[in-house]
Structure 1
Amino acid sequence: MAGDGDLKQKLQELQKRLGKKHLFEESVCEIRSLLLQYYSSVSPSIQQSFYSVVCRVSTILKTRYTSPGFWTAGLKLFEDAERLVSNPAEKKHLQSCITQAKDQLFEAENSSEDLQSSRGGTNGGYLFEGHLTVDPEPPQPNWMLQSNLLTAAATLLHGESSGLHAEDGNTREHAVSALQELFNRLDDIVPEILDDDSGVPRVPPASKEVVAKLPVTCITEEILVKLGKDAVCSICQENLIVDDKMQELPCKHMFHPPCLKPWLDQHNSCPICRHELKTDDHAYESWKEREKEAEEERKGAANAVRGGEYMYV
């Protein structure tokens, strides 16, 4: 490498190649090679370029790719970069990238093992001849958990009053298991009204149909100039670059689609202006409509009072 200028240009080229799936793993390996070879001897500005490219690898992995091979390459890069950087903030961020990569690979490995286990045996993924296995059983819906809670509570109360004998161990075990699952998902099935006297219901997730119809824009040079060089996705806080896909809310604010969906599932509002999307919960939508009408009535009453005050001044 002739000098800082050539190295910086090479890093910029590699950053652009990261957006092409068939070049991603190769590009990450090349970035890692350059990092190990040059980082310790280059100027602070080139070291910052290295850090920016490594952060870009993390963003692309989080927002686009799930392949274990890609995450393995990213993990090796993050670990090498974390050992080389000296800035505490950069080191802390890279440590979080390492943790996330390890978690992703752990989940991928467990999912693969679970799938093989669910298809177990030597008959190639069949429960019996002519019958394919099914996916792992999904979590029980909240209404079923609530029903199981009542059954489990009744069983335990009956057992405590009459005395469960050794042969009743399985019954008691099932009841305790149901209560344990209830406890694990308490936040999901108990409405958040115990500590809230305001009467405001919890906001449900955004409608899946509404989210699916949100327009997706591909960032171009022109859009990036308009947004500014420091433009970021406000959810993951990573800088935007050309070819990034961004999903636009009705309020015109844009975010990475993989960042936006879980945010809307949890908060159902724009992270910037708090604009709220429509939900599939008819009871909540009816409450919102009633609140809107009540607010208009309150404003009308307030205006009438102010008008009366002006008449008597």
Structure 2
Amino acid sequence: MESENLIKQELEELQKQLGKKQKFEDAVSSLKSLLQQSYPSASTSLRKSFYTVICRVATVLKTRYTAPGFWSAGLGLFEQAISFVSEPSEKEHLKACIAQARENLHLEDNPSQTLQTAVNRENRGYLFEGHLTVDQEPPQPDWMVQANLLAAAARLFEAESSQGLATNGSTEDDAASVLEMLRNRLEEVVPLMETGGPVAPRVPPASKEVVAKLPVISLTEEILANMGKDAECAICRENLVLNDNMQELPCKHTFHPPCLKPWLEEHNSCPICRYELQTDDHAYESWKEREKEAEEERKGAANALRGGEFMYV
């Protein structure tokens, strides 16, 4: 037990060294040696301590040290660690770390492994208000179902005219499937088409110039204390620690810069409060302005109506 306490102290010291750029690679090398020597006979508590430090290596690589030499050191650690851990969740996380390290080092020579990693990510649920759900994403709205079904039907009818459904069994099955979906949703889709329902355009990516100007702060002890004990990045779900770099949105919510950039490219909204950044799409920005003005007019009309009701009471 005393020897395990000494190993835990050594792990704590190595975790501190990970925060110093000039000591990072030496700390990772020492961690690999310690893992090799002590993990096989370690208690559950000590194994958790090892895993915590390994996760910290992954976080530091994503948020602070992005040079190939650092990623190469991390890759070696992740590949060694995955051969030791037995917890399924830990193995999955390490697989993701290995995939990301290989991607950064341009070592994507196993397409099937990369595809499986992507499938695993797709099956993890979806991010809603800063929390990763367990369930699958809820059904699409009617207007999106309408658009997707009609687009699929158009593609199939185009294939029919160029190839002929009678000679292509696969296309025939696909067509039957899409037409069956159209029939099942007919009562919902047709009224929307007739009334021209409120179809909002897809939100374009955030302006790269706007994203580049977002302030980056380094977490101090005071900031961490204000954020609370279990503060984490709402995108990658990693716990925040001293000296982490965080990028701040105008809504004052903060995230790791490497996590936030791809998120804004795909969603362009704060994962917590849904605040939208400005885009480079002039048509979309004009639509937003029109919607804002229309909303103000609706509110004004509603207030005027309520005022009239009071006058005649």
Instruction: Tell me how many residue pairs correspond in the alignment.
Output: 229
CA distances 1:213-248 after superposition (whole Å, capped 9, x unpaired): 222111111211221221111111111111111111
Match of 1:221 in 2: 221
Q: Judge conservation of contact 2:102–2:108 (CA < 8 Å) in 1.
A: no
Q: Judge conservation of contact 2:64–2:245 (CA < 8 Å) in 1.
A: no
Q: Distance in 2 between matches of 1:248 and 1:86?
A: 37
Match of 2:102 in 1: 102
The one of the two structures with greater contact order (alpha-carbon pairs below 8 A, sep at least 6) is 2
Q: CA deviation at 1:69?
A: 2.9
The question of 1:246 aligning with 2:246 is answered yes
| Percent identity of paired positions between Structure 1 and Structure 2 | 67
Q: CA deviation at 1:99?
A: 2.1
Q: Flag the structure with larger Rg.
A: 1
Q: Distance in 1 between matches of 2:290 and 2:257?
A: 32
Match of 1:147 in 2: none
C-alpha distance 107-301 of structure 1, shift in aligned 2 (>3 A): farther
Q: Distance in 2 between matches of 1:199 and 1:232?
A: 35
CA distances 1:268-299 after superposition (whole Å, capped 9, x unpaired): 11111110112232322221111111001111
Paired AA for residue 94 in structure 1: L
Match of 1:72 in 2: 72
Q: Distance in 2 between matches of 1:62 and 1:80?
A: 19
User: Mean alpha-carbon deviation: is it higher for 230-239 or for 1-10?
Assistant: 1-10
Q: CA deviation at 1:258?
A: 1.7
TM-score normalized by the length of structure 1: 0.66
Structure 1 stretches of 5 or more lacking a match? 110-159, 161-194
Q: Distance in 1 between matches of 2:42 and 2:312?
A: 78
Q: Distance in 1 between matches of 2:70 and 2:294?
A: 53
The question of 1:300 aligning with 2:263 is answered no
Match of 2:41 in 1: 41
TM-score normalized by the length of structure 2: 0.66
Q: CA deviation at 1:108?
A: 8.9
Alignment of 1:1-313 (within 5 A): 3-107=3-107, 198-311=198-311
* SS state at 2:217 partner: strand
* SS state at 1:84 partner: coil
Paired AA for residue 283 in structure 2: A
Q: CA deviation at 1:306?
A: 3.3
Q: Distance in 2 between matches of 1:70 and 1:218?
A: 20
Q: RMSD of aligned C-alpha atoms?
A: 2.5
Structure 2 stretches of 5 or more lacking a match? 110-161, 163-192
* SS state at 1:246 partner: strand
Q: Judge conservation of contact 1:64–1:258 (CA < 8 Å) in 2.
A: no
Q: Distance in 2 between matches of 1:95 and 1:231?
A: 24
Q: Distance in 1 between matches of 2:254 and 2:48?
A: 27
